[in-house]
Structure 1
C-alpha cells in the first residue's frame, strides 16, 4: 500500500516537473544554419494572442549565438506596414559567441497578430543559435505566444 502511494506521488511530481519544463522553454526557439551560406536566413512567425492574461501589446526578442566561430548571429523582428507612431522593425546582434548572454532585447509594439522573425549570421559556415521571445501586455505581463518555423537554411 505504501509503495502504491509513493508511486503516485512520484508520478505527480515528475508530471508537474515536465509541465513546468515545457512552460519555461515554450518561448525559446533553437536553430542552426546548416547550408554554410553566408547569407543564410531562418524565418519564423510568432503569433501574439490573448490567452487570458490580457491583450498583447508587443513582442520582445533576442538571440544568443551558441557556436564559437567568426559568424555573429543577429535577429530582425518585424510586424505591420503602418509605422507612424511605433517602430515596426527592430534589429539586434549577439557580438560574443558561445557565452550565456543574449543580444540586446528588441521590442516591436504592434499589438496582437503575427510577427516575422528573421535570424541571420554574418559569415559562411555553420552556426547554432537560441532565440528568446515573449508576447506581453502593455503592463508587461506574459500573454499567448506561439511560434512556427517557415524557412531553415
Structure 2
C-alpha cells in the first residue's frame, strides 16, 4: 500500500514538475476554434492524489496538419479545483477550473505540438470525489479541426 501511494506521489510530482518547467512558455490562450470538439466526462476518486490519464492522437486531415491541441476542463463539484495538463514530448500546457460547480470551464489553452500523440492528465488539489468534463481538440494553424482520435482513458483513479 505504501509502495502504491509512493508511486502515485512520484508520478503526480513528475507530471507537475514538467508542467511547472515548460508549461508557462508553451501554453497560450485560444480565442476561438472551429470544427469538431471532443468532450469527455470522467470522475476522480476521493484521494487527493487521484489522476486520470488519457491519450489522443492529432493528425493531418483535409484541412491540413495539426498546429496545436486545445484543452479546457470543468469541475462539477463546488469547492473542488480541477486541473488539466497536456503533454507532448518536451512541451506541456496547463489550465485550472478554479471554481468548481459553477458550470464555467477553465480558460482554454493550447499546446503547439503538431501532429502526434498527446497525453492528457486530469487531477485535483484536494480530497473528495469529483466528476469533471474536458475538451481536447486538434487544430490546424487556421483554427480548423485537424484529424483526431477520441481520447482513450489509460489510468482511472
Please confirm whether the aligned pair reaches a TM-score higher than 0.5, indicating the same fold. Answer: yes
Q: CA deviation at 1:100?
A: 2.4
> Aligned runs of 1:1-153 on 2, under 5 Å?
27-34=38-45, 36-68=46-78, 70-81=79-90, 88-146=91-149, 147-153=151-157
Residues 71 and 109, structure 2, Cα contact 8 Å, conserved in 1: yes
Q: TM-score, normalised by structure 2?
A: 0.73
Structure 2 equivalent of residue 12 of structure 1: none
Q: What is the count of residue pairs matched by the alignment?
A: 122
Q: CA deviation at 1:133?
A: 1.2
Question: Using the alignment, how far apart are the partners of 1:50 and 1:31 within structure 2?
Answer: 28
Question: Using the alignment, how far apart are the partners of 2:93 and 2:137 within structure 1?
Answer: 15
Q: CA deviation at 1:105?
A: 1.1
Residues 80 and 99, structure 2, Cα contact 8 Å, conserved in 1: no
Question: Using the alignment, how far apart are the partners of 2:155 and 2:62 within structure 1?
Answer: 30
For structure 1, list consecutive stretches of 5 or more residues without a partner in the other structure: 1-22, 82-87
Residues 75 and 103, structure 2, Cα contact 8 Å, conserved in 1: no
What are the superposed Cα offsets for residues 45-102 of structure 1, whole Å, 9 maximum, x if unpaired?
111012322111110000000112x321001111113xxxxxx111111011112221
Structure 1 runs, 4 residues or longer, greater than 6 Å off: none
